[in-house]
């Protein structure tokens, strides 16, 4: 992870955390995830996070010295989750299989980690103050690597001519929509809060959208 994402370390040697310390840190982070994903970085406060964690603010500050430290800890964990589906695109597979599987993995990530997706979206909308280094290094390098795979399929005539990076951007925007705008999706579909039954239909529609004209005939297998 880039230096911009490294949590501030103490100069004293690190000590093993007790079970209670680990549980309290996890409790704080889960509470903070809810607050940050709903209020954004600037709308979140230590008082709100402490209240959501059902602990006092001084107790919270024993584990994390600032709101920014909590935010960076959450983002650090999130980035591995966010990159995982992209890492799995393989040059050994067919374009239809690999792109279709990537769409489904991204939708699964949106379904399983909606708060994390909103946390990431809020960070980007704020200008990426905490993850700019990550975007310029690890993310860019991985996108370049996977774009080269997509470009090789285009060069071989297996994919329609397109800019591979913009193809990835389009997949990101459509799949993450279901996490970042889940309230809108459920209202329009007439579903109750928490109902995620629409994901299977979303996957079928997005595969039709991206693969219907993108993949050359005879290369679907």
Is the residue at 218 inside a domain?
A: no
Residue 66 is classified by DSSP as: S
Beta bridge partners of 159: 215
Residues 6+ apart with CB under 8 A from 2: 133, 134, 137, 138
**Residue 59 has which token pair?**
């107790």
Instruction: Please tell me the predicted confidence (pLDDT) of residue 217.
Output: 74
CA distance 201 to 206: 9
Residues 113 and 206 in one domain: yes
Query: In whole angstroms, how far apart are CA 138 and each of 2, 76, 96, 135?
Result: 8, 12, 26, 6
Q: What digits encode the pLDDT tens for the residues 48-104?
A: 999 999 999 999 999 999 999 999 999 998 998 889 999 999 999 999 999 999 999
CATH number reported for the structural domain that contains residue 7 in this entry: 1.10.10.60
Triad 28, 32, 37: Cα angle to 5°: 160
State the Cα–Cα distance between residues 214 and 195, nearest whole angstrom: 31
Q: Which of 30, 54, 70 is the last residue of a domain?
A: 70
**Do 83 and 171 belong to one domain?**
yes
Q: 217 in a domain, yes or no?
A: no
How many percent of the chain have pLDDT more than 70?
Answer: 91
Q: By residue range, what is the domain housing residue 34?
A: 3-70
Same domain, 56 and 81: no
How many domains, the chain?
2
pLDDT band at 36 (very low <50, low <70, confident <90, very high): very high
DSSP 8-state assignment for residue 11? S
pLDDT in tens, 163-187: 999 999 999 999 999 999 999 999 9
Is the separation of the CB atoms in 5 and 129 below 8 Å?
no
How confident is the model at residue 65, as a pLDDT?
95
**Looking at residue 7, what DSSP letter applies?**
P
Please give the Cα distance from 84 to 105 (Å, whole number).
Answer: 9
Cα 13 to Cα 1, 10, 69, distances in angstroms: 21, 7, 19
């Amino acid at each position: 992870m880039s230096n911009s994402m490294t949590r501030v370390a103490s100069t004293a040697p690190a000590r093993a955390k007790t079970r209670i310390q680990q549980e309290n840190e996890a409790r704080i982070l889960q509470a903070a995830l809810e607050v940050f994903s709903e209020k954004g970085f600037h709308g979140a406060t230590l008082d709100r996070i402490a209240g959501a964690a059902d602990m006092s603010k001084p107790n919270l500050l024993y584990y994390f010295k600032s709101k920014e430290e909590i935010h960076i800890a959450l983002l650090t964990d999130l980035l591995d989750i966010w990159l995982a589906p992209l890492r799995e695109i393989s040059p050994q597979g067919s374009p239809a299989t690999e792109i279709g599987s990537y769409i489904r993995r991204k939708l699964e990530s949106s379904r399983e980690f909606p708060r994390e997706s909103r946390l990431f979206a809020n960070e980007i909308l704020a200008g990426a103050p905490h993850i700019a280094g990550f975007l310029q290094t690890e993310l860019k390098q991985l996108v370049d690597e996977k774009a080269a795979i997509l470009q090789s399929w285009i060069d071989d005539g297996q994919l329609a001519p397109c800019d591979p990076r913009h193809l990835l951007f389009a997949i990101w925007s459509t799949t993450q929509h279901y996490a970042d705008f889940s309230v809108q999706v459920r209202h329009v579909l007439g579903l109750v809060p928490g109902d995620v039954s629409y994901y299977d239909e979303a996957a079928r529609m997005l595969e039709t959208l991206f693969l219907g004209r993108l993949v050359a005939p005879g290369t679907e297998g």
